[in-house]
Amino acid sequence: MVDLHMHSNYSDDGEFTPLDLAEKCVAWGVELMAVTDHNCACANQEVKEAAKERGIRYISGIEIDCTYEGANFHVLGYGIDDASPDFARVEENIRSQVRNASIEMLAKTRKMGFMVEEREMRQLSEGSRWPDSWTGEMFAEVLLAKPEYREHPLLLPYREGGTRADNALVNFYWDFYSQGKPCHADILIPEMKDIIDIIHQNHGLAVLAHPCVNLKGREQLLGGIIGLGIDGIEAFSSYHTPEQALERVEQARAYGLFYTCGSDFHGKTKPAICLGGHGCKAPKEELERELEKLMEKAL
């Protein structure tokens, strides 16, 4: 089994340590893995030896926030020089902005009528690598635990049996804190072209993450994104239907790109997603050919 998209607690929304992920990959039968934390490459040093000791092939990775034509995207970098100061600068750029963004999200959450205290958010982020980053998932965790909001109509879809309860925390983020939503706080993130260039300059390959999420309603941007020099498309994802995945495979073939498989496993923020849960149905021989393209360049 292959899973090239998972997050450790080096991400602001990841639950498990890098070593935990290596152990879980053993348990789930993952034979080739990549840890792709948000805007942070630090987990790679911890996990690559652990993976090797457990007989798992490992590709260094990262997932970087970027923008193209005014829309926010995620680009995965594989086979990167993870010790490069370029990735430390990517992390510092985000880190320098998250405090103000968190305070803005708190104010907008209160504007919706929810009383959330700064101390509650600090208690939840205490001990995190990103203590000043309060994500939409964290706001959901605080609000869903408040007894006074047990029957609040805005929260009912995220409770057991609700229409958005499968991944309640991250669904709440997408519905209220993502780009264009009422509690969103802008952070100045790099242009996609700059991120693709950084990945290439550090011997990596750039892959467009979960395109059916970020390209939804703006599919016409794909041609321009490919023109920026992207190397691959994450065709098989926990967010894609089988039909969508096959469409992404055909797009990759049409543009001469490779395709990848990634679950986007986080732990508690996305409990319905398991390691290896990307639904890859590609024939084994074909998938191996795709992975060979990646492995030849990334290892």
Q: How confident is the model at residue 119 (pLDDT cuts 50, 70, 90)?
A: very high
Q: Do 59 and 85 meet the contact criterion of CB atoms below 8 Å apart?
A: no
63 & 196 share domain:
yes
Domain stops at, among 176, 201, 225: 176
Residue 202 belongs to domain with CATH number = 3.20.20.140
Residue 286 has pLDDT above 80, yes or no: no
Alpha helices in 183-273 (DSSP H): 192-201, 211-214, 222-227, 242-255
Q: Tokens standing for 31?
A: 């034979």
Q: Do 4 and 32 meet the contact criterion of CB atoms below 8 Å apart?
A: yes
Mean pLDDT taken over the chain? 92
The answer to whether residue 181 is domain-embedded is no
Q: Tokens standing for 143?
A: 């609000």
Residue 107 has pLDDT above 80, yes or no: yes
Q: Tokens standing for 98?
A: 């998250």
For the entire predicted model, the pTM comes to 0.91
The answer to whether residue 262 is domain-embedded is yes
Beta bridge partners of 262: 237
The answer to whether residue 184 is domain-embedded is no
The answer to whether residue 123 is domain-embedded is yes
10 & 73 share domain:
yes
Q: Domain tally for the chain?
A: 2
Give percent above pLDDT 90 in the chain: 82
Residue with tokens 């991944």: 167
Residue 252 has pLDDT above 70, yes or no: yes
Beta strands in 17-149 (DSSP E): 32-35, 57-58, 61-68, 71-78
Q: How confident is the model at residue 295 (pLDDT cuts 50, 70, 90)?
A: low
What whole-number distance in Å separates Cα of residue 113 and Cα of residue 294? 49
What whole-number distance in Å separates Cα of residue 209 and Cα of residue 155? 29
15 & 74 share domain:
yes
Query: What is the torsional sign of CA 125, 129, 133, 138?
Result: negative
The answer to whether residue 148 is domain-embedded is yes
234 & 164 share domain:
no
133 & 263 share domain:
no
What whole-number distance in Å separates Cα of residue 281 and Cα of residue 230? 23
| pLDDT tens digits, 154-209 | 999 999 999 999 999 999 999 999 999 999 999 999 999 999 999 999 999 999 99
Residue 1 has pLDDT above 90, yes or no: no
What is the number of other CB atoms lying within 10 angstroms of the CB of residue 203? 14
> What is the domain range of residue 125?
100-176
Show the CA angle centred on residue 22, arms to residues 18 and 24, nearest 5°.
Answer: 110
